[in-house]
Amino acid sequence: MQYTVIGVWLADKPVVAGVVTGRHEVYGGDEETFTEGVWATFVTAGEVAEAEQLAKTDMVENNI
């Protein structure tokens, strides 16, 4: 199943803020509050917990 995972950077680590079933475009984000940045990615996973882990790994490995 495909998931859209949305998160923020805190202390140089990706933190998941939410997961939505399906592939969705994500716009905006509160970069004034989350000064290290916001992020979103798409992953294919069997369940939400796996989607969260895959997304965090993707953010770190690809320096997004």
Listed as own residue / partner, the contacts of 40-45 with beta carbons closer than 8 Å and 24 or more positions apart are: 40/4, 40/5, 40/6, 40/7, 41/4, 41/5, 42/2, 42/3, 42/4, 42/5, 43/2, 43/3, 43/5, 44/1, 44/2, 44/3, 45/1, 45/3
How confident is the prediction for the chain on average, in pLDDT?
Answer: 94
Share of the chain above pLDDT 90, in %: 94
Number of structural domains found in the chain: 1
Looking at the predicted structure, is the pLDDT value of residue 20 above 70? yes
Whole-angstrom distance, CA of residue 11 vs CA of residue 3 = 25
Residue 25: pLDDT over 70: yes
Q: For 2-19, what is the mean pLDDT?
A: 96
Per-residue confidence (pLDDT) for residue 64, from 0 to 100: 63
Domain range for 24:
2-61
